[in-house]
Structures are given as structure tokens and as C-alpha cells.
Amino acid sequence: MATLLDGKKLSQKICAALKSKIAKIERLKDKKPGLAVVLVGDHSASQIYVAKKEKTAREFGFYSEVHRLPAASEEKEILNLIKYLNESPKIHGILVQLPLPAHIQTQAILNAVSPLKDVDGFHPLNLGRLFIGDPLFIPCTPQGVMELLKEYRIEISGKSAVVIGRSLIVGKPLAHLLLGQNATVTICHSKTKNLEEVCQTADILISAMGKPHFIKNSFVKEGAVVVDVGINRFHHKIVGDVDFENVQKKASFITPVPGGVGPMTIALLLQNTFKSFERSAS
Ligand code: GUN
């Protein structure tokens, strides 16, 4: 039976450490790190994610602002808000919740966020810095996956890592982080042929495809480390991409859903915001 990669526990540890650092700084300097979240429209999953980010930020001592804009907002209004947040001394991290409504050019919005406050790491400058191996802000979900692997002392160097998904949010940055730690990385996507056979070669298998219970036992090599980034609604429950019940019997380590990668994303968002705050003060 696989050992659980407990993201809930590790995220609590990271957030508790941040909370005590913030309390200390606040006592000395009467300042605290601030996070602004921009939510446009009424995408139902985004509402839940944003509420969770706000609640967690407050719980651990951060100043938090959520800006909710109507779905019909014009690009210019969002750009004006971002400009204001870029200049606000109370704000050290800005996150624009994705997806944005279809009439908005997502990349134009992401490009407008100051790279120095881009705690999601989606600005081209931050993605480029990750690509050359000199990161400033690393996207939170991939960073959370790497922290989980580190916490459980999972060897990466020389291992075969298969990443399913090529998004800018998860797959591409994660592949770079794994490569940076000397894994041999394969990126799979919707056009990949023989996905099952490719997955069978993985020492570390990471799925960010968004298909409930798609990764069956037969995809997994005996003793593989399985990381499930999927969050899918399925028969009124939240499930991952991995058929957890069966795959846990074959894997050496596995993330649960919920309680695996999800809480790590928020912990790393807060950690990035704290780092930005520290940088701004120095
Ligand atoms: N939508 C889904 N995941 C994310 C994320 O990590 N950051 C942002 N901004 N939007 C998301």
C-alpha cells in the first residue's frame, strides 16, 4: 500500500511558519504582507477557490483584498485595476483568477501584472526566468508538487518523470522544475499516442489532465510515485484524475484528492506573497 503524500499536513506546516514570521514582523514594524485577488465573472469553481484563498490568507496573518468584477467587464477596467494594485503599497502579491471570460485577452491581462508582484508566476518574464533556471516567482501548483516530493525525500535525479498536461499553469512549468532536478521528463497531452504505455515507463507520474479516475492501475509501474493534480466534480464528489482506490495498491507514494496538491497550491501562494513582501522591504 502506498504512503500518502499528505499535502494538507505539509501546507499547514508551511502556513504556520509564515504566520509566526508575520506576527514577529508586525510587532516590530507594523506592516504585513498583502495579497490581492482579481476575480472576473461567476465561474463556479473559481468562486470557491478564491473564497478559500481569501480565508486562508486572513487565517495566517496576511492582509487580503478580493476584487470581484462583473463578467461583462471590459479589458480596460481590469487593466486599470491591475495598474492600481501594481502601485498599491499594501499589496505585495497580485493574482488574477483564471479562466477569464472569453472576450478578455488573458495574456494581455497577465502581462500587465508587475513581475515583482506576480505571485502566480504567470508573467512571461517569470516564466522565462524559470526556463533559464533563475526563477523569481514559480507558479504555485508546480512548486507545491516539488515541495511535496522534497518533504517525502523522493529522489528525482535520473528518474523518469511523465507529466500529463501542458498548460502554462501546471504542465509546462512542472516539467521545467523536474528537468532542473535532473529527471528525464516526458510531457504528454491530448494528442499523445499510447498514453498508457508512456505512463508505464514513469518512476514519477504526474497527472494534470482533468479527467476523473482516468489513470487506472494498468497505467502505473509497480512502485511508482503518483501525483494527482486533477480536481474534478464527479457524482457530487471531488475526485482526482487517478483511480486512487486501485492505484494506491501499486504505487509507492500517492497524493490523495482532496488533501494532496490542492492545499499546497494555496500554501505556496502565501509563501510567494511573503517572499515578495520581504523583497519589497529590503
Ligand atoms: N485557476 C486554476 N488554477 C489557478 C491558479 O493556480 N492560479 C490562477 N490565477 N488561476 C487558477
* For range 262-267, the mean pLDDT: 98
List, for residues 186-197, the tens digit of each pLDDT value: 999 999 999 999
Which one of 40, 82, 98, 126 would you pick to mutate in the ligand 1 pocket, going by the greatest count of ligand atoms within 8 A of its CB?
98
* For range 238-253, the mean pLDDT: 98
Task: Choose which CATH entry (2.60.34.10, 3.40.50.720, 3.30.420.40, 3.90.226.10) describes domain 140-262.
Answer: 3.40.50.720
> Which own/partner contact pairs does 45-48 have at CB distance under 8 Å and 24+ positions apart?
45/231, 46/97, 46/98, 46/99
Residue 260, C-alpha cell as written in the block: 494532496
Give me ligand 1 centre to Cα 207, in Å: 16
* Ligand 1 atom closest to Cα of residue 265: 6
Inter-residue contact 204 to 224 (CB < 8 Å): yes
The per-residue pLDDT for 281 is 85
* Ligand 1 atom closest to Cα of residue 46: 1
List, for residues 125-134, the tens digit of each pLDDT value: 999 999 999 9
Instruction: Identify the architecture of domain 30-115 in CATH.
Output: 3-Layer(aba) Sandwich (3.40)
Which one of 37, 47, 97 would you pick to mutate in the ligand 1 pocket, going by the greatest count of ligand atoms within 8 A of its CB?
97
Which ranges of 140-184 does DSSP label H, i.e. alpha helix? 140-151, 171-180
**Edge-to-edge strands, sheet with 253-254:** 3-4, 253-254, 225-228, 204-207, 160-164, 184-188
Does the pLDDT value for residue 282 go beyond 80? no
* For range 220-248, the mean pLDDT: 96
Does the pLDDT value for residue 254 go beyond 90? yes
Residue 213, C-alpha cell as written in the block: 479516475
User: Strands, DSSP E only, in the chain?
Assistant: 3-4, 34-40, 63-69, 93-96, 160-164, 184-188, 204-207, 225-228, 232-234, 237-239, 253-254
**Edge-to-edge strands, sheet with 93-96:** 63-69, 34-40, 93-96
What is the DSSP annotation of 194-221? Answer: SHHHHHHT-SEEEE-S--TT-B-GGGS-
The per-residue pLDDT for 135 is 96
Give me ligand 1 centre to Cα 97, in Å: 5
Inter-residue contact 246 to 256 (CB < 8 Å): no
Q: Do domains 30-115 and 140-262 have the same CATH topology?
A: yes
Q: Is the pTM of this model over 0.85?
A: yes
List, for residues 109-166, the tens digit of each pLDDT value: 999 999 999 999 999 999 999 999 999 999 999 999 999 999 999 999 999 999 999 9
Q: Whose CA is nearest to atom 4 of ligand 1?
A: 98
Helix orientation angle between 171-180 and 124-131, rounded to the nearest 10 degrees: 30
Q: What is the DSSP letter of 158?
A: T
Q: Whose CA is nearest to atom 8 of ligand 1?
A: 97
Domain borders along the chain are: 30-115, 140-262
* Residues taking part in catalysis: 53, 97, 120
- CA–CA distance, 110 with 104 (Å, rounded to integer): 11
Tell me which residue has cell 478580493: 66
List, for residues 172-216, the tens digit of each pLDDT value: 999 999 999 999 999 999 999 999 999 999 999 999 999 999 999
